[in-house]
Amino acid sequence: MIECQIKIELDSFILDANFSIPDKGVTVIFGPSGSGKTSLLRVLAGLEKTHNGFLKIGDSIWQDSENFALTHKRQIGYVFQDTTLFEHLNVQGNLDYGIKRSSNIEKEFIDSILNLLDIKTLLNRSTAQLSGGEKQRVAIARALLIKPKILLMDEPLSALDIKRKQEILPYLDALHNDLDIPIIYVTHSPDEASRLADYLLLLDNGKVIGSGPINNMLTRLDLPMSHGREATSLVEAKVISREKEFDLMHLDFPGGEFIVPDNSLPIGSNVRLRVSARDVSLTKEKQIDTSILNIFPAIVDEMVPEGKAQIMVRLKIKEITLLTLITKKSAKNLHLKNGSKVFAQVKSAAILS
């Protein structure tokens, strides 16, 4: 577990954060611009000095009322928002900087990271000769090569254009899947959060207003993310079979099976599906002659008005939570209330990774 209680006054802003997050997987720190996300990350790194905070990572106490571990003593990897490679060193020099100051970094490990981020061909280049995406990959590699206990990333994609973002996302997915260490990832992009997060820490105005597993956070009706046209839910599923004739795949999840277009992922792959609330409709009886393939029995968990004419409904399909956006009129016609049994029809689902 990573436990943190920090209250710090920065230039024009008070950060008052009190939370616990898991010490594995990807935790996304999410919130609007100016909510204190970067400041919080810097606090975790020890880049903002506070006197009376508490920070514990696993068994190590990095900060308490008497002690403050300096940044260079905390084993962290930090990827800054604007690329920050050392200009006076080439790529190899940048990578070596951290390695030299860590103990026992094995050659095989170095190799694996270089391969993971695909930068072997860049080693002799000067930093001025790299593209934005390449710089970011080098920065990530540099942070990982020191075998940190935790990887902190501050909006690593925000300075890149769409093309470069698409380029790097697979590498971030790979990090997510291949690394043992926790990753704390700051972003204000719901897409990035949906794609990468296992756990979400929601910030607003310097305060933590919610934390929890990603789908819980996305579907909590008391939080802002579950409202608006972009409201979505995430479902973790596994590829179990294919229908070659129709070019479809079957994805297994606790509530049943999703059928989606085949994208050639091998059987057994874990995938994350994104289901937009607008793509889910409800019926009282199970529809038989319908073009929609993905229909699941569900129970209405909670309902909240959405604007003048709509209602956001949280459904439970076994233990999986899904959001659906329907009209007030439909809710009335279907006599919906908490506990109602219904069928959820999912018109489309996007595979995130």
Partner 1 sequence: MLNEYDISALLVTIKLASITTVILILIGTPIAWWLSQTRFKFKAVIEAIIALPLILPPTVLGFYLLMTLGTNGPIGNFLESLGGSSIAFTFTGLVVGSVIYSLPFVVQPLQNSFSSIGKRPMEVAATLGASGLDRFFTVAVPLARSGFITASVLGFAHTVGEFGVVLMIGGNIPGETGVLSIAIYDHVEAMEYGQAHVLAGGLLVLSFVILLFVYIFNRQFSIMRSD
Q: Which residues bind partner 1 (CB under 8 A)?
A: 45-47, 70-72, 75-78, 80, 82, 84, 86-88, 97-98, 101-102, 128, 142-143, 146
- Rounded to whole angstroms, the Cα distance separating 275 from 324 reads 9
Nearer to partner 1, 81 or 330 (CB): 81
118 within 8 A of 131, measured Cβ to Cβ: no
| DSSP class per residue in 11-35 | TTEEEEEEEEE-SSSEEEEE--TTS
Nearer to partner 1, 103 or 264 (CB): 103
Provide the minimum distance between the beta carbon of 331 and partner 1 in the complex, in angstroms, as a whole number.
52
221 within 8 A of 234, measured Cβ to Cβ: no
Provide the minimum distance between the beta carbon of 131 and partner 1 in the complex, in angstroms, as a whole number.
13
In degrees, rounded to 5, the angle at the alpha carbon of residue 64 between the alpha carbons of residues 62 and 70 is 40
Provide the minimum distance between the beta carbon of 151 and partner 1 in the complex, in angstroms, as a whole number.
11
Burial (CB < 10 A; 0-12, 13-18, 19+), residue 291, is exposed
Provide the minimum distance between the beta carbon of 180 and partner 1 in the complex, in angstroms, as a whole number.
19
- Rounded to whole angstroms, the Cα distance separating 72 from 54 reads 18
Nearer to partner 1, 36 or 98 (CB): 98
Provide the minimum distance between the beta carbon of 183 and partner 1 in the complex, in angstroms, as a whole number.
15
Provide the minimum distance between the beta carbon of 47 and partner 1 in the complex, in angstroms, as a whole number.
6
Rg (CA), the chain: 23
- Rounded to whole angstroms, the Cα distance separating 129 from 109 reads 26
Nearer to partner 1, 87 or 111 (CB): 87
Nearer to partner 1, 86 or 246 (CB): 86
SS3 165: helix
Label residues 141-152 b or e (16+ Cβ within 10 Å = b).
bbbbbbbbbbbb
Nearer to partner 1, 85 or 317 (CB): 85
- Rounded to whole angstroms, the Cα distance separating 228 from 221 reads 11
Nearer to partner 1, 147 or 188 (CB): 147
